Amino acid sequence: SAVISQKPSRDICQRGTSLTIQCQVDSQVTMMFWYRQQPGQSLTLIATANQGSEATYESGFVIDKFPISRPNLTFSTLTVSNMSPEDSSIYLCSVEGGTGYEQYFGPGTRLTVT
């Protein structure tokens, strides 16, 4: 399975600021995914990021709010912009496994917006 790390592991941010979350994988992967897990809730896909192309956003998520970069096959960033308390969540990146059917998750970034 892929080894995925995320930075920061947690942060407390002020309303109106932005935070960039990094996701690093120990092997080259085509697809990377960003999910949000709101407190006590399930996971919801924010966007899918392919290297060298624009991220594809799910309904309810927009690029201005959640810009994503995917500069190479092992790294991606998600920025949460102009934060409000409603953005307090765990943000997780995930990648496809070797077979293409497994999906592995990073440890998550726990964000609290005050």
Partner 1 sequence: GEDVEQSLFLSVREGDSSVINCTYTDSSSTYLYWYKQEPGAGLQLLTYIFSNMDMKQDQRLTVLLNKKDKHLSLRIADTQTGDSAIYFCAETHFGSGNTGKLIFGQGTTLQVKP
Report the interface residues with partner 1, using CB under 8 A.
Answer: 1, 31, 33, 35, 41-45, 48, 56, 58, 92, 94, 96, 100-108, 110
Residue 82: CB minimum distance to partner 1, A: 26
Full 3-state SS string of the chain: CCCEEEECCEEEECCCCCEEEEEEECCCCCEEEEEEECCCCCEEEEEEEECCCCCEECCCCCCCCCCEEEEECCEEEEEECCCCHHHCEEEEEEEECCCCCCEEECCCEEEEEC
Residue 101: CB minimum distance to partner 1, A: 5
Please say which residue, 14 or 59, places its beta carbon nearer to partner 1: 59
